[in-house]
Amino acid sequence: MRLHREGTPTLLLVAAVVCFGLFALLKWPVLPDILAVLIGAALIVVFGIVVWFFRVPSRRTAPDDTAIFSPCDGKVVVIEEVYEPEYFKDKRRQVSIFMSPLNVHINYHPIGGTTSYYKYHPGKYLVAWHPKSSTENERSTVVVRHPKHGEVLFRQIAGALARRICTYAKAGAPAVQGAEFGFIKFGSRVDLFLPLDASIHVSIGEVVTGSTSVIARYKQ
């Protein structure tokens, strides 16, 4: 299993804490044996969870100009028509995907084309499913222009546990459908803002897979 580069500092820190804890349990056995075993097991489990969080799955995206793929792993929590005030300043169809701490937290380009806009916004850390998290939490907005179908906006949103949004997309750079454009550490959410005439292919509560699940298709 390959691990994401964003996990290196966290993994080194957690590994150091776990090693110190295990060493202390062995070197200074002041606790009852059963309690020491439980604490040692808990430390190993915590390290395993952190390793699992930063895993990089092996996926291959079959390019599809008619499809808008999921930008992340998670559960669909919002599908609604909204006013998008930051970039489009008009009505769009919003699809939001909640990422739990157990999901893969890599973010993928849902379409191919050219990155036409990127902006980072500092903000709060409301729980990711809070209605105001899309406009008040720490977030990064990326817009990609498809050469045939126009622009799609996707927004990385920090959650109550997320404390770092990593975005690799830059304005003017090419965007490859299914390629990695960012990473969010721990629980978070990604919003998609699609054309109103896009055909939605998911439903509320559906579990989706980044770079593989089709969220919507353009009007033909």
Residues catalogued as catalytic: 188
Provide CB contacts within 8 A for 103, sequence distance 6+: 72, 73, 74
2: three-class secondary structure by DSSP: strand
How far does Cα 129 stand from its chain's mean position?
A: 13
Structural element, H or E, at residue 116: strand 113-121
- 12, burial (CB in 10 Å: exposed 0-12, middle 13-18, buried 19+): exposed
Does residue 215 come out as left (phi exceeding 0), alpha (psi in the -120 to 50 range) or beta?
alpha
Provide CB contacts within 8 A for 140, sequence distance 6+: 118, 119, 120, 121, 155, 156, 165, 167, 182
CB 211, CB 67: distance < 8 Å: no
Provide CB contacts within 8 A for 36, sequence distance 6+: 25, 29
Nearest-angstrom CA–CA distance, 85 and 99: 24
Neighbouring C-alpha atoms within 13 Å toward the C-beta of 141: 20
